[in-house]
Structure 1
Amino acid sequence: MHELSIAHNIVTIASNAAAEAGVDRISAVHLRIGALAGVVADALRFSFAIAAEGTPLAGADLIIEEVPVVVFCPDCNAEVTLTNPRLFRCPRCDRPCGQIVHGRELELVALETP
């Protein structure tokens, strides 16, 4: 389960940021995870709770914003959200689209303190 190693990295990054800011505790961690990131949100939440034990993040909420797949369609000259991320075809004109704009994110966006 690679979500556990991701959770450990999140805890390390957030703990370092808390220490630099002089904060003793983090109450929430906000992430953005793209549909193509290969991360199972529930597995990450479970792993995060384990990885956070004994750290300033113990008991913190993991708030995940799921990001859909958005591609650029050269025929429509527009960014479009894919209704089926397995088919890289424009939902407007049905042409193949390969330029991914969003959907691969795995970003730590914000930390909250109590």
Structure 2
Amino acid sequence: MHELSIATAIIERADELARADGTDAVSTVTVRVGELAGVVPDALGFAFEVARDGTALAGAQLVVEQVPAQAWCGPCAEEFPVGMPPFFWCPRCDQPSNDLRCGRELEITGIEPSRASA
């Protein structure tokens, strides 16, 4: 389960960012996870709960924003959903696309300090 190593990295990075901001406790970490990132959001949430124990994020909640995969069709100038498993053919003009616009994200987008440390 590689989600545990991802959760550990999120916790370490969120802790670094919080401390750089002068915060020693975090209540919420928000991450964006793309549909094609190879991460199972429920497994990431479980791994986060396990990995946060004994850290500055021990009481923190993980909020996962799922990002659907979208590709761009040049001939149509149209964005379309790729889906899972991914299908990179434009549904409008039936041409292949190699321009993935979103769906591979795995990023921290927000860290909320605990009220006690704010």
Q: Do both share a fold (TM > 0.5)?
A: yes
Mapping for residues 96-111 of structure 1, pairs under 5 Å: 96-111=96-111
1:87 aligns with 2:87: yes
TM-score of the aligned structures, taking structure 2 as reference length:
0.89
Mapping for residues 35-54 of structure 1, pairs under 5 Å: 35-54=35-54
Equivalent pairs: percent with the same residue? 47
Partner of 1:68: 68
CA contact (8 A) 1:32 1:64 kept: yes
Question: RMSD in angstroms over aligned alpha carbons?
Answer: 1.3
**More divergent stretch after superposition (50-59 vs 86-95):** 86-95
Gaps in structure 2 of 5+ consecutive residues: none
Letter in structure 1 aligned against 2:23 = V
Kindly state the Cα deviation for residue 83 of structure 1 after the two structures are TM-superposed.
4.6
TM-score of the aligned structures, taking structure 1 as reference length:
0.92
Gaps in structure 1 of 5+ consecutive residues: none
Deviations 1:50-107 (A, max 9, x none): 1111111112111111101111101211222235552111122222112101010001
Q: 1:84 to 1:46 in 2, by over 3 A?
A: closer
CA contact (8 A) 1:29 1:112 kept: yes
Three-state SS of the structure 1 residue aligned to 2:26 is coil
Partner of 1:55: 55
Q: How far, CA to CA, are the matches of 1:41 and 1:88 in structure 2?
A: 23
